[in-house]
Structure 1
Amino acid sequence: MTVFARDGRHRVAVLVRDGVLPFELSLVHRLFGQARSAAGAPLYEVVTCTTAPGEVRTDADFAVTVAHGPEALAEADTVVVPGADTDHAPGGVRVDPALTAALTRIRPGTRIASICTGVFVLAAAGLLAGRRVATHWRSPEEVRARFPDVTFDLDVLYTDDDGVLTSAGAAAGIDLCLHMIRTDHGAAVANEVARGTVVPPHRDGGQAQYVTRPVPEPAISSTGRAREWALANLHRPVTLRELAAQEATSTRTFTRRFRDEIGTSPGRWLTRQRVERACALLERTDLSVDEVAAAAGFGTAGSMRLHLQAELGVSPTAYRATFRGRA
């Protein structure tokens, strides 16, 4: 359950260590810092903390000055632990007693998240026992073997296990933060943050971390016209043959190119767009559930209910009750 501070803002504490990766640190501030209510008020307060306030080394040619100590963890509604270059040293992550003591300050019920190898800090502190978590596919096997009570999934971007969240690599931390924002405030707020950062609003947590062969980045998208057409026709049935026709290619060639460019199948992508459209309509309009289902191309309320339950774990009515007017 999401907890909010007395001033209405959700407090996010980012716990950094020696050798912190600046990208992973900054993306938390950038994404949560952009989240705004409909009135333009910031929805989060983000603070950086460490075990001993002062200068903290990064893995780049500069350091960061951190003003907050571990006491910030006791006031947080969400705690995020980024990775550090020391996690890649021989023997893997070593959690010193000061860091372990700092983590004990986290209140029960606080949401805890890690980015990339920050997951090993949580594992070493005993916070991941019995959980399925994500980490980078290049994470050393000997480090993972240190935690036999944790299931490491190398084929997903992020996981959300009852308030404990983990992301695979650094960029997957963006997906994870957007997921948390979406959970707290709905698709409209998360999509606006994604738009401001110029990143996709949603990549499935179960999407594979990497493809098995190199894929050249096309100078011009070979499926962009089809995707644009699909979004304009989302209210009606859309076939693979119609999508391929927009690019004047065969369905087989179109499907291969689509997977290369987007990382998923045309059908899976289309379903996700319908879910996003349905969520936006449930949040922003007074349309009935049947009308939302028709406008999003699901056809029936029953079909939409099944897809929202599969994607988000909630019914359309519950989603609307949770997110309508929250921001």
Structure 2
Amino acid sequence: MKDSSIQSFIAGLPKTELHLHIEGTFEPELMFKIAKRNNLTIPYADVDELKRAYSFNNLQEFLDIYYAGASVLIKEEDFYDLTWAYLTKVHEQNVKHVEIFFDPQTHTDRNIPFEYVLNGIYRALEDGQEKLGISFKLIMSFLRHLDEASAFKTLEQALPYKDKIVAVGLDSSEVGNPPSKFKNVFQKALEEGFLTVAHAGEEGPSEYIWEALDLLKVTRIDHGNRCLDDPKLLQRLAQEEMPLTLCPLSNLELKVIQDLKEYPLLTMMEHNLLVTIHSDDPAYFGGYMNENFSGIAIALDLSKSQIATLAKNGFKASWLSDKKKQEYIQEIDLYLLSH
């Protein structure tokens, strides 16, 4: 099948995004605009120089520039503009539902009030639902390179906003920061009624995935590539229908894989894993949902049926109601029949 035919099919396919860091959608043009508005400078002469810096050898190199970019976000309107820009972009890509991460510690550690961050993002999400028809859930992530005491402080700040935040997650530098480091704060979050997810098995070992399941009681694993190292783990993930939120272009850019043709997606599907496709930090990694779907579909020569399955898996793995899930799955089935 021609690449253009696949891209056209993907463009019209209803999709859901479950692994997206809102700070990772910060396009260079908007970064310069907000920096100027806040009378701040960033260490790049112009948009082109900043884009050239988006070339990474590993997760840490990316995180360094990610945090530098986030440092220009100061006011509630900055977080609104960041989120609104993302929503308008994915609306064009036929994304129907998003469950996105935000990293409050990245901002509160700079003395930005928690409520500025949350209210700006949430207001944009509400506008996105009303004006663009994109439903949403919000996930607050803890930064794993910081200590558990800092995560507890962040959880305390979130408690008055349980009506807005549905889950907690775990992200940032994985190696050397196992899920077990955050066992107590996740236990407290669960007691407070939050759902839990965690990045595990991206650069870290398969043991981190076991810890996320057993200690953090997660309902989804973000990334999870390294599950293939452990046959028992594969069996368990399949049996429990545990979703894996995969991010192909992210893995390529951060050298988790060297080539999309090496991506283990088909192996995972053969093991009956509930795999889903997302964009992670699309401003930095070269593409949003359609680009991730197209990139992996073309590299692995996926059929339209396999692509549709991945889109359906996204809705299955979401926290939408069963009724809404079924509606979207039927919509995808009808789309597949007519294409």
TM-score by length of structure 2 reads: 0.32
Structure ranking higher on relative contact order (CA contacts 8 Å, 6+ apart): 2
Structure of larger gyration radius:
1
Of Structure 1 and Structure 2, the greater helix share is in: 2
TM-score by length of structure 1 reads: 0.33
